[in-house]
């Protein structure tokens, strides 16, 4: 039975790899899979074609969407409404609330599987992730670990070598800009940074 799935995890938890493996498994069984990613994710393009690319090297061509796109219109354009059609969305945290609601309706006819982050670098829910938590029939956490061995839940952003606590919500990057860690390690490093800044001001 088709439904809306939300599979989430911190950065580096293999979300994209699992999305691509899911695509492969469906295609092996004769399904027609439509893989989407947000156009703001500009990291991977090959010969002019947008790509979804995982850290372990799995990749696939995909379709792109903007925050202004209507998924009802997208489904009409590609005739996505047949018995063996499947939609997979990578980096689904960048969906708008309205787009998630559209996908919820579409999922009553074809399976819709969304992979992405739950929270931003401020530990706040993304708009798309929040609505997916509210509407998805299936929620699954994809776990990864912090350097200390605890479960990583925070997507820490670094700017000029320091943990960022403000700025734009969207800043595309990978290991050079982000690190996933547990909340304990995040709080420890953040407090150390604040203390160092206070010491620097007083000297």
State pLDDT tens for residues 22-37. Answer: 999 999 999 999 999 9
Is the pLDDT at 41 greater than 80? The verdict is: no
Binned at pLDDT 50, 70 and 90, residue 185 comes out as very high
Mean pLDDT of 99-125: 96
The dihedrals phi and psi of 6, each to the nearest 5 degrees, come to -130, 115
Mean pLDDT of 97-107: 98
> In angstroms, what CA-CA distances link 202 with 160, 164, 192, 195, 198?
22, 22, 16, 11, 6
Q: Structure tokens of 82? A: 């047949």
Residue 109: domain span: 4-201
Q: What is the DSSP code (8-state) at residue 177?
A: T
Kindly state the percentage of the chain with pLDDT values over 90: 68
Q: How far is it, in rounded angstroms, from Cα 110 to Cα 93?
A: 20
Report the candidate in 1, 6, 7, 12 with the shortest Cα–Cα distance to residue 178.
12
CATH number for the domain that contains residue 30: 3.40.50.300
Kindly state the percentage of the chain with pLDDT values over 70: 91
The dihedrals phi and psi of 89, each to the nearest 5 degrees, come to -120, 120
Binned at pLDDT 50, 70 and 90, residue 167 comes out as low
Q: For 142-185, where are the E strands, in sequence order?
A: 154-159, 162-163, 178-181
Is the pLDDT at 174 greater than 60? The verdict is: no
More confident residue, 46 or 197: 197
What pLDDT does residue 43 have?
64
More confident residue, 45 or 69: 69
Q: What is the pLDDT of residues 46-62, one digit of tens each?
A: 556 888 988 888 999 99
The dihedrals phi and psi of 115, each to the nearest 5 degrees, come to -120, 130
Q: What share of the chain is helix, strand, coil (3-state, %, to 5)?
A: 30, 30, 40
Active site residues: 91
More confident residue, 70 or 197: 70
Q: How far is it, in rounded angstroms, from Cα 10 to Cα 67?
A: 22
Binned at pLDDT 50, 70 and 90, residue 166 comes out as confident
Using an 8 Å Cβ cutoff, are 133 and 5 in contact? no
Domain count, the chain: 1
Q: Tokens 């839940």 map to which residue?
A: 153
What pLDDT does residue 14 have?
92
């Amino acid at each position: 039975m088709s439904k809306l799935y939300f599979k989430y995890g911190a950065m580096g938890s293999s979300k994209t790899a699992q999305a691509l493996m899911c695509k492969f498994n469906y295609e092996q069984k004769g399904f027609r899979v439509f893989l989407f990613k947000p156009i703001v994710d500009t990291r991977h393009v090959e010969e002019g074609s947008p790509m979804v690319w995982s850290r372990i090297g799995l990749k696939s061509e995909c379709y792109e969407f903007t925050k202004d796109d209507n998924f009802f219109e997208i489904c009409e354009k590609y005739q996505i409404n047949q018995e063996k059609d499947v939609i997979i969305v990578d980096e689904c945290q960048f969906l708008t609330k309205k787009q998630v609601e559209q996908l919820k309706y579409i999922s009553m006819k074809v399976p819709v599987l969304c992979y992405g982050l739950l929270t931003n670098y401020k530990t706040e829910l993304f708009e798309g992730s929040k609505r997916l938590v509210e509407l998805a029939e299936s929620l699954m956490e994809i776990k990864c670990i912090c350097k200390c061995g605890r479960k990583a839940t925070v997507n820490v952003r670094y700017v000029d070598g320091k943990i960022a606590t403000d700025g734009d919500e969207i800043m595309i990057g990978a290991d050079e800009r982000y690190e996933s860690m547990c909340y304990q390690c995040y709080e420890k490093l953040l407090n150390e940074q604040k203390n160092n800044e206070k010491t620097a001001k007083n000297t």
